[in-house]
Structure formats: C-alpha cells, structure tokens
Amino acid sequence: MNQVELRPAHLDDWLDTLPYTETDHCLRALATGLRRTAEAAVKPAQRVELMTLYWPRYLYLLNSRIRSTGLGATQIPAQRYSQIAMLRQITTSIADGSRIGAHEMLSQRSLFGSPKRSGRAMLLAATAYAHSLILGYQEYLGATPDLWKAMHQLVDDATLLKLVDELYEDPDGAGDTNTTIARVYAAVSACAVADPHKLEANDVWQVYELARRATEPPVVKPFDPAARPNSSFVIDMRRASAPMSYSKVSVSQVTKFLRTLDCSALARQCQRQLAQAQARGAQQKLMRDSLSPRLLDYLVQAWSATPVRRYARQSASGRILLVAGLLNTHAELSSAHGTDVAAENSWDLINENPGGRMVCTRSVPKDRIRVGDVVILRGDSENRWTVGVVAWLLEDAGGTVKAGIQHLARAARAVRLRALDGPEILTTPRPGLILGPLSPGGDHTILTSPGLFRPEQILEIIAGDAAQTITAGTALKSTMAFDQFNYRA
C-alpha cells in the first residue's frame, strides 16, 4: 500500500488481502498503515471506524503468534521479541487513534458525538492500551510512563463523562461478551502489581485474562487510607506510573487524584483455584484454560502478602561468567574443558546477598536468558560454579538488561536421568543435575527438564558407567524449564 487507505470499505478489502501466514510482512504493513492514518486529516467517526477495522487483524496476529504459542517453539527468541515489539507499536497506534477519535466526536456534539458511540471508542482505546502494557511486560521492559499517563487520563475522562462503568461489547472477546472501561483498567492494574518481570513466557497474558474475566475481579475505588496494604494498592491518576504499594504513599501525599486498587477478592479466587488444583493432584493434566499451581501460588502471594526480603542487598562489582539453560549448563559441568564459548556470557555484578545476585549487561541480548531458566555462574575469583534460577528480568530505556539470580546450590554434578518404566519419552535418559545443599546440613536434590518428575517415581541416575536407582520425593521448585525435587536412595 503506497498510499494510506482512508475509506473504511476499501481498507477492509485491503486488510483481507494481507498474507497472514507471513507474520513479519503483515506486522510491517499494519504498522505502516496506522502510522499514515495518524498523520492524515480524518473525520472523528471515520478515524474510529478505521481503528475498529485494524483491531481484529492485530488481534488475530497476537492470538495466533504470541498468546497461543507458549514458548514459541518454532521461533528463535530474537524473532519473538521483534514481533512482540511490532505488536506493541500497532496496538498503541490503535489506542491513540481510538482515544483521539472519541474526544473529537464528543467535542463536535453531533449525532456522531453521542456518549454511547464515544464510550465504545474509549473502551477500544483502554483495551488497546492494556495490550500495549502487557506486551511491554512480555518484553521485560522497564517503566512505560507514556502508556500509563494515557491510560490514567482516558479513565479519568470516562469517569467524568459517566462512561467508565457502561457495558459495551468486549473488544477482546468473541463478540458474545460485554465489559467496561473500569474492568479493563482494574485488570491491567492488577497485572502491574503482580510484578510481571518475574513471570515466565506467556504467564503475563494468563494473569491478565484471569483478572479480566474473574468472577471476583479487582476493583478500583476511591482512595481508602485504611485499606489492607497486603491486598490493596495505590493508583495516582496524575502520575505517569503503574500502581504502587501503600508503603510508598505518606499522609501528606494524599490527594483527590488517588485511588485504591483492591485485589483481595481476586486473591481469594486464586486461593480457591489453587486448592482445587492441588486436590486434583500432580498426576492429572491441567484443565483447558486453567492456570498452573505454580502460577496460582505466585499470584496468591502477589495479591495478598506483603513482600519480605530475606537478606539485605550488598553492593558489589566485578565480572560474572554466566551459562543459561539446562542443556548448556549440563554440557559445561560435564566437561573439564568447558563447553562452547558461545554459551558463556560475561555480565557485570551489581549487588549480592547469600540468596542470590543481581547482574547486568549491555552486550548480551536478553533473548539469551529467560525467566525460569536454570543458570550456572561464577565470579572472577571463584573456582567453581554456583547454580541458580533467573528470578526476574528487566531492560531499561537505555538498553541495559538486568537479571536477578536466585541461588539454588553451591555445587552441582552433571548426570543423566530416566524412569525405569513408562513411555519412551520417560525411559530415555535426559540431562540432569545433582545439586549440593545450599546451606550446611541440607540435602542433595535433583534438577531436570519438566515431565519426568512424579512423586514416588522410580528413577535411574546415570553417571558415566555407574547407575543408581532412586525414588523421587517432593517437588521443591518448578518452572517452564525444569523441576527440582528431593529424593531418597
């Protein structure tokens, strides 16, 4: 499309001709069309109609390429991050166009400026801004002040116009559900306070869907200074920032622009779902669209418990050599000469404590590491590897990637593991690590890829020519990349 198409019927036809199997081509085409539309002089109602035509095409690409693909097995991580960034650009453009169109329709005070039609446009804008924020979290980006400023202002305007609680067709649904601007706003706010930089892969979308569709959803209400700080958070409608904890607001800062985000009912719903999942047992496959016990437990803590730091951080400096991923760490620990240098990355140490370290880099792409990955790391003066897990990931506006590493063990031994009976996928030896205790007097544990561990499962540990039969005990930690569990001989 050399020229921007501003006639809705013709735009609809053109959008239908795009080759949606060629994801990158379609993303560039949508982004270009939206950019040119933003620069064009268009009537308000027409602008909104154009945004509603772009939206389902964006939604198809999001759902088919990002939401439904888990870890993106057919994509290399760098490609996946690139597509997420393009989708974020597209949905932000749709949000801006819908918001501008809605305000212009209202200012005209004509038939097209009716509150109902403007309310639908504002709901689309709120939903698109929510998607932009979620995609930013999926990229592990830091603060996104422009998006939060636009979202707060949109909700403030909708409140003044008495549109914030009006029901309209849900832009994020299948045409058979309704929602409100207030509900979308509360859902994305609940995502923000769940510390999404600690979430794995597509978890952030599951959290957003849970908050958006919950039978006991989060609620934004007038500021309550006496609210429970462990399940309530503060929104400042005049600050270009995400909701924050009550501990960050003093009495002198209380203004009419503050709101309370109440997540207590949502936390209770997660607690019930967690109890149901645990009652079904680890052996039973998760129900469709259900959240894993791991994620539910995380959300119960995020929305109902005050975070407690076990150890104080101590500033530190130096270089840290880091190897990420079970296959790479297994290869490194298996060889006296180390593995392929391409798997080793040098990071800068920022701070540390007995429980972990914070490292950063500007030279290692963030696609080399994932939240939930097992890693081994050692400093310049250390002669053995420490085993850890990537607890969180963050990229700031300057391109510096920061990672929080939680220690799992001070020493490890590479082995191979298999089940003694069952299907071939379980009886085929797979890489694993025998982890030494993190503190004196602790037990050795096993870490291996997901799918093998079952309580009381009989396993075989293979180390060189030697083999040992063991019985799996209880799960200690589970991520998308590994299971850690204790065992007995």
Do 41 and 182 fall within a single domain?
yes
What mean pLDDT is predicted for residues 258-285? 84
Cα of first residue to Cα of last residue in the chain, in angstroms, is 67
Query: Is pLDDT at 451 greater than 80 in this prediction?
Result: yes
In a domain, residue 130? The reply is yes
221 assigned to some structural domain: no
Report yes or no on 159 lying in a domain: yes
Q: What is the pLDDT of residue 307?
A: 66
Of 358, 385, 409, which residue is a domain's last?
409
pLDDT of residue 1: 55
Is 403 found in the same domain as 282?
A: no
The confidence score (pLDDT) of residue 341 equals 52
- Are residues 243 and 207 part of one domain? no
pLDDT above 90: percentage of residues in the chain:
71
Q: Is 466 part of a structural domain of the chain?
A: yes
Whether residues 71 and 186 fall in one domain: yes
| Any domain includes 225 | no
Range from 79-93, 309-323, 439-453 carrying the lowest mean pLDDT: 309-323
Question: 180, 166 in Cβ contact below 8 A?
Answer: yes
**Mean pLDDT (the chain, rounded):** 89
Angle CA 192–195–201, to nearest 5: 100
- What CATH number corresponds to the domain at position 379? 2.40.10.220
Spatial separation of the C-alpha atoms in residues 254 and 273, rounded to whole Å: 36
Q: Is residue 50 part of a domain?
A: yes
384 lies in the same domain as 419: no
Residue 462 lies in a domain: yes
Task: Summarize the confidence of residues 299-305 as an average pLDDT.
Answer: 91
Whether residue 335 sits in one domain with residue 449: no
- What's the whole-model pTM score? 0.91
Query: Which residue, 255, 272, 304, sits at the end of a domain?
Result: 304
Do the Cβ atoms of 228 and 320 come closer than 8 Å? no
Q: What's the pLDDT at 96?
A: 97
**Strongest mean pLDDT among 289-298, 378-387, 466-475:** 466-475
Residue 351 has pLDDT above 90, yes or no: yes
* Model confidence at 264: pLDDT above 60: yes
User: How many separate domains does the chain show?
Assistant: 4
| 318 and 300 co-located in one domain | no
State residue 288's pLDDT score. 46
Buried b (16+ CB within 10 A) or exposed e, 96-111: bbbbbbbbbbbeeeee
**Which domain, by its residues, includes 472?**
412-488
pLDDT at 75: 52
Q: At 482, which CATH number? A: 2.40.10
Separation between Cα atoms, residue 34 and residue 4, nearest integer Å: 8
Residue 74 pLDDT? 43
Question: Does any domain span residue 226?
Answer: no
Per the model's pLDDT, the better-predicted residue between 442 and 115 turns out to be 442
Which of 273, 304, 335 is where one domain is finished?
304
Q: What is the pLDDT of residues 46-96, one digit of tens each?
A: 999 999 999 999 999 999 988 865 544 445 678 889 999 999 999 999 999
pLDDT at 337: 53
Structure tokens at 167: 């029901």
